[in-house]
Amino acid sequence: MLPFKQWTLVNLDETFDLKQVRDCCCLQNWLDGQAEISDLEKQILMIFREKLRLNVDDWNETELSQNFIGPVFALTDFTTDKFNHFAERLFSGTVDGIEMGGKPDGMIASGYREPRKPYFCFQEYKREKDSEGDPAAQALAAMLVAQEINEHKIPIYGSYVRGRLWFFMVLKGRAYSISDAYVATRDDVFDLFRILRHLKQMLLSADN
- Each residue's pLDDT tens digit, 138-180: 999 999 999 999 999 899 999 999 999 999 999 999 999 999 9
The string of pLDDT tens digits covering residues 19-52 is 999 999 999 999 999 999 999 999 999 999 999 9
Question: How many angstroms separate the CA atoms of 195 and 83, rounded?
Answer: 18
CA-CA distance, 162 to 65, in Å (whole number)? Answer: 11
> Is residue 22 classed as helix, strand or coil in its secondary structure?
coil
Q: Are 91 and 118 in contact (CB under 8 A)?
A: yes
pLDDT confidence of residue 113: 87
**From CA 204, how far away is CA 208, in angstroms rounded?**
7
Dist. CA 10–CA 37, nearest whole Å: 38
**Beta pairing partners, 34:** none
Q: Which amino acid type is present at position 76?
A: T
Q: Which domain holds residue 20?
A: 2-207
Quickly state the pLDDT bin for 130 (edges 50, 70, 90).
low
Q: What is the pLDDT of residue 124?
A: 80
pLDDT computed for residue 207 by the predictor: 62
The more confident residue out of 111 and 159 is 159
Compute the distance between CA of residue 124 and CA of residue 26 in angstroms, rounded to an integer.
21
β partners of residue 84: 109
* Cα distances (angstroms) measured from residue 97 to each of 1, 2, 94, 120, 192: 11, 12, 6, 23, 36
Provide the domain count of the chain. 1
In DSSP terms, 106 is beta-bridged to 123
Q: How far apart are CA 35 and CA 77, in angstroms?
A: 13
| d(C-alpha 195, C-alpha 40), whole Å | 18
- Which residue type is seen at 93? G
Categorize the per-residue pLDDT at 133 as very low, low, confident or very high, splitting at 50, 70 and 90: confident
Largest CA distance in the chain: 50
Which of the four pLDDT bands, split at 50, 70 and 90, describes residue 92? Answer: very high
Residue 100: what pLDDT?
Answer: 96
Q: What is the mean pLDDT of the chain?
A: 93
State the Cα–Cα distance between residues 53 and 121, nearest whole angstrom: 25
Q: Is 50 exposed, middle or buried (0-12, 13-18, 19+ CB in 10 A)?
A: exposed
Per-residue DSSP letter, 57: T
Residues 92 and 1 sit within 8 Å (Cβ to Cβ): yes
